[in-house]
Amino acid sequence: MTGLPRRTTLATVAASAGVSVTTVSKVLNGRHDVAPATRSLVQSLLEEQGYLPRLSGQGQARITATVEVWVDDLCAYSTEAIKGTVEAGAESGVAVVVTYPKDTAGEGVSWARDLVAAGRRAVITVMSVPTPAQLAALSQARLPVVVIDPLNLPDTPVTSVGSTNFAGGLSATHHLLELGHRRIAYLGGPATSTTNQARMHGYRAAMEAAGVPVPPEYVRTPGFGYPDGMREGAALLDLRAAPTAIFAAGDESAMGAIQAARARGLRIPEDLSVVGFDDTEIATMTSPQLTTVRQPLRDMGAVALRTALRLAAGEEIEYRHIELATKLVIRGSTHVVSGTRAGRRR
């Protein structure tokens, strides 16, 4: 990792305080044979200069090196990515700790130093990006950050791992067009999400290339969750010219749309074709199984873990954003439109 401040050592703190390294060590170890005024001065300088204890060494207890994974929501998507980080961590001899991030913007750098003292080498977040204050604190504590599939990229440069979202949206929509569908709706994630925008642009590009207009009401961007898909899927199916196919930007929202269709007596895929995105375990747990765009979620987690360790070791990395290839997986939730040329060919 380039541009990191030089590590504060016991010697530099001792020189600032005008005492010996032994005295500073005694303060760190909680020894009582140090004058109160000296102890207070040394403790203040340790705080001001951001001293971080080494994780192991002569006379010190060894602390197991770990990588902390922040996840806002444990869902089918995040679980797959976490599995990839855990598997890669086991191969690298590094433990992975999964936690919900807390609001640390007002706590300064002390919380980040506590992570280092506990053995953390790096922080990986799933989809969410740390706040600017959190990023600054982690940088000061020399803890690199890697984001898996960030919803929104921050102004501050951050290393991230994602997938080819545009290409995935393109291939999903091409598949539906090849089946003869023309009334194809897009059911996406939050409108401001960069991943949603890339998938939606892939959808629009495929529709434009085929010369198929997209009515404004055919594009919905509520969120990636099951309730989002059920609510907005129902709204799409209640349109006067309802779509014959829906491309959902997440497997969970695709499942919600399928449920909305079944509540209206529609058959999947005979009356409505549905394509999802992610290829999580739930894609194969429904009947019919879901046609979806596979993101290599476990590979993304593994790449994030290895990249974080490289940064923690001070290595240069070639790219700030790494994209892994997506792939369309055709299953039973899509069907040729009856009465079209594609239908007659079939």
CATH classification of the domain holding 181: 3.40.50.2300
Q: Is residue 261 part of a domain?
A: yes
Domain membership of residue 94 as a residue range: 66-162+297-322
Split into its structural domains, the chain has a count of 3
For residues 278 and 293, give the distance between their C-alpha atoms in angstroms, rounded to a whole number: 6
Side chain identity, residue 168: G
Are 176 and 125 within one domain?
no
For residues 100 and 95, give the distance between their C-alpha atoms in angstroms, rounded to a whole number: 17
Q: For the chain, what percentages of helix, strand and coil (3-state, to nearest 5) are there?
A: 40, 15, 40
Are 334 and 206 within one domain?
yes
Q: Is residue 76 part of a domain?
A: yes
Predicted pLDDT of residue 302: 94
Predicted pLDDT of residue 52: 56
Q: Is residue 3 part of a domain?
A: no
Q: Is residue 53 part of a domain?
A: no
Are 185 and 156 within one domain?
no
Are 174 and 287 within one domain?
yes
Residue 155 has pLDDT above 80, yes or no: no
Q: Is residue 26 part of a domain?
A: yes
Residue 278 has pLDDT above 60, yes or no: yes
Predicted pLDDT of residue 247: 98
Question: CA quadruple 12, 14, 20, 25: dihedral positive or negative?
Answer: negative
Residue 341 has pLDDT above 70, yes or no: no
Q: Using an 8 Å Cβ cutoff, are 326 and 320 in contact?
A: no
Q: Is residue 61 part of a domain?
A: no
> In terms of pLDDT, which residue wins out, 157 or 243?
243
Side chain identity, residue 42: V
Are 213 and 185 within one domain?
yes
Are 155 and 136 within one domain?
yes
For residues 289 and 171, give the distance between their C-alpha atoms in angstroms, rounded to a whole number: 18
Are 332 and 265 within one domain?
yes
Beta-carbon contacts of 247 under 8 Å, excluding residues fewer than 6 positions away, are 169, 172, 173, 176, 184, 185, 186, 187, 203, 275, 277
Residue 145 has pLDDT above 70, yes or no: yes
Averaged pLDDT, 111-125: 86
Q: Is residue 4 part of a domain?
A: no
Question: CA quadruple 136, 137, 142, 148: dihedral positive or negative?
Answer: negative
Residue 187 has pLDDT above 90, yes or no: yes
